[in-house]
């Protein structure tokens, strides 16, 4: 993949996760969302730190240590390991495109 924004996969049925690079202790992925959210009763609780960069679209995340955060293109966010979080809204059209960097022990 040479361009993270074109072409984009159809994510109308489910988010599309594409691993761009995987090494011990590091994974970089592109995530394409089109209106998806995380169920309120199933937040993420990851063992690794996650750094997010919103490339396109718009989104809102809820983090247990700071509440809801709105993201627009260019916004970056570090989610420390074991901070429960969930996606509360993603823009469907145009699609929301994230760059996620997962760091830490496997």
pTM reported for the whole predicted model = 0.93
Cβ neighbors of 54 (< 8 A, separation 6 or more) are 71, 72, 73, 74, 75, 76, 96, 97, 98
In a domain, 8, yes or no: no
11 has a pLDDT exceeding 70 = yes
* Domain extent for 32: 27-103
In a domain, 54, yes or no: yes
pLDDT tens digits along 35-73? 999 999 999 999 999 999 999 999 999 999 999 999 999
Query: Looking at residue 92, which CATH number applies to its domain?
Result: 2.60.120.10
In a domain, 49, yes or no: yes
In a domain, 3, yes or no: no
In a domain, 2, yes or no: no
CB 17 within 8 A of CB 31: yes
Give the pLDDT of residue 100. 98
Number of domains in the chain: 1
In a domain, 53, yes or no: yes
Which candidate, 1, 51, 45, 63, places its Cα nearest to that of 26?
A: 51
Alpha helices in the chain (DSSP H): none
Distance CA 90, CA 83 (A): 20
106 has a pLDDT exceeding 70 = no
Task: Please identify which residue in the block is written with the tokens 């022990």.
Answer: 105
In a domain, 18, yes or no: no
Which candidate, 8, 11, 50, 57, places its Cα nearest to that of 28?
A: 50
In a domain, 13, yes or no: no
């Amino acid at each position: 993949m040479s361009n993270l924004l074109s072409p984009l996969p159809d994510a109308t049925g489910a988010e599309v996760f594409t691993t761009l690079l995987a090494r011990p202790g590091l994974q970089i992925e592109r995530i394409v969302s089109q209106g998806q959210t995380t169920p309120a009763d199933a937040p993420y609780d990851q063992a690794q730190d996650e750094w997010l960069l919103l490339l396109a679209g718009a989104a809102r995340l809820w983090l247990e240590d700071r509440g809801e955060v709105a993201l627009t293109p260019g916004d970056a966010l570090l989610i420390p390991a074991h901070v429960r979080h969930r996606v509360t809204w993603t823009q469907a059209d145009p699609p929301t495109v994230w760059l996620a960097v997962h760091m830490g022990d496997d």
